[in-house]
A and B are shown apart, each in its own frame.
Chain A
Amino acid sequence: MNIEDDEQIIENCISGDTDSFRYLVDKYQPRIINACYKYTKNLDDAEDVAQEVFLKAYSNLDKFKFDSKFYSWIYRIAINTSLNYINSKEKRQEKETISEESCQINDNSASSDPKDYYELTELVDKVQPLINKLPDDLKILIELYEINDNTYEEISKKLSMPIGTVRSRLHRARNMLISGFKSMNDE
């Protein structure tokens, strides 16, 4: 049940456990795809660009400096990759003319089977009650770490709390959210 820290997962990947990277992809795929979607304006393209982002992140994982959060680092890669994609797409469009055939391809991709996708919009009403159920000390930690993007050190200073305590309480908060989410879906 325990969710490992990003830093631990990265260290495992660098030591040769390639499959650990799957956890980071699972955890950050919605946010990275959304970052790319803001630029591509097309979900299929956004997924292609996001795939490239994760590949770039993996191949440069040994260059990741542990003084920043993994999400901040991969987010910058996502923005740069999306901008490169837009530039190359604009160049392609200068050379090509839009044909009826290409429009049909877009229509087909838009009507893919809904069973192959997670619908995230319907989760909005489910997640907030889970947060509200958390004790106040855990709720504030989730807000500081996962929403305000503070590091463990920053939270430790802000709340005058040892880093070890911040880590263990965040683990507890995450586990409570996950088990709450699962039991909500079972009902």
Chain B
Amino acid sequence: MMNENYRIFGKIISVLNKDYPPRVSKKFTDRVMSEINKNKINFSKKTSNNYLNVAASVLFAVITSFVLVNYNPDNSNLVSSESTVPEPVGDNIIQKVIEKDPCYDDNDTINKKDACD
């Protein structure tokens, strides 16, 4: 009965506004309502989903903060200790360079003097 009143009033205001189609299906409202019930659109469910998203964001923030606060900066000692250890120098290579230097050629005394003066 209540429904009928809304339908009548809908017709009246559409005619008053000269805003009506030539005809309207009598089953239109039933079709719309059955689609709504089929899809089960529920506003309380939507709200609970929003709360779930907020809770997930807060949890993520807490975990991130916890990880950052508990980060141990002493781990950087490993890097500094590595850099202080002197790398072994290839003694053989230095020896070879010295041997090839004309200034240190004991046999060629004349050329040695010219090259090194």
A contact set with B: CB distance below 8 Å: 1, 3, 13-16, 18-19, 21-31, 33-35, 37, 43, 46-47, 50-51, 54-55, 58-59, 61-62, 114, 116-121, 123-124, 127, 130-131, 142, 146-147, 174, 177-178, 181-182
Contact = CB atoms under 8 A, between A and B. Distances in A.
Interface string B5-28: 111111111111101111111111
Given A55-B39, A123-B11, A43 B21 contact: yes
A141 B22 CA distance: 27
A117 B32 contact: no
Nearest to A24: B6
A45 to B, nearest CB: 12
Contact of A29 (B22, B28, B39): B28
B11 A30 contact: yes
Contact of B23 (A3, A15, A118, A146): A118
Nearest to B6: A26
Interface in B51-80: none
A127 B15 contact: yes
Nearest to A112: B25
B6 A31 contact: no
A23 B108 CA distance: 117
B115 interface: no
| Interface SS, A side | helix
Task: Tell me whether chain B's interface is mostly helix, strand or loop, or mixed.
Answer: helix
Given A34-B21, A47-B25, A58-B41, 14 more contacts: A14-B43, A24-B6, A26-B10, A29-B24, A29-B29, A30-B21, A51-B35, A59-B39, A116-B25, A117-B23, A119-B22, A131-B16, A146-B13, A178-B8
A-B interface, 5 closest residue pairs, ranked by CB to CB distance from nearest: A30-B14, A117-B23, A26-B6, A27-B10, A120-B20
Q: How large is the interface on B (under 10, 10 to 19, 20 to 34, 35 or more residues)?
A: 35 or more
A18 B36 contact: yes
A149 to B, nearest CB: 9
B54 to A, nearest CB: 16
Interface of B: 2-3, 5-17, 19-29, 31-33, 35-37, 39, 41-44, 46-47
A28 B24 CA distance: 11
A33 B11 CA distance: 12
17 contacts: A3-B5, A16-B43, A18-B41, A22-B33, A26-B7, A27-B9, A31-B14, A35-B19, A43-B21, A47-B28, A55-B32, A59-B39, A116-B27, A120-B15, A120-B24, A146-B16, A147-B17
A15 B47 CA distance: 11
A33 B2 contact: no
Contacts of A55: 32, 35-36, 39
Nearest to B29: A25
Contacts of B47: 62
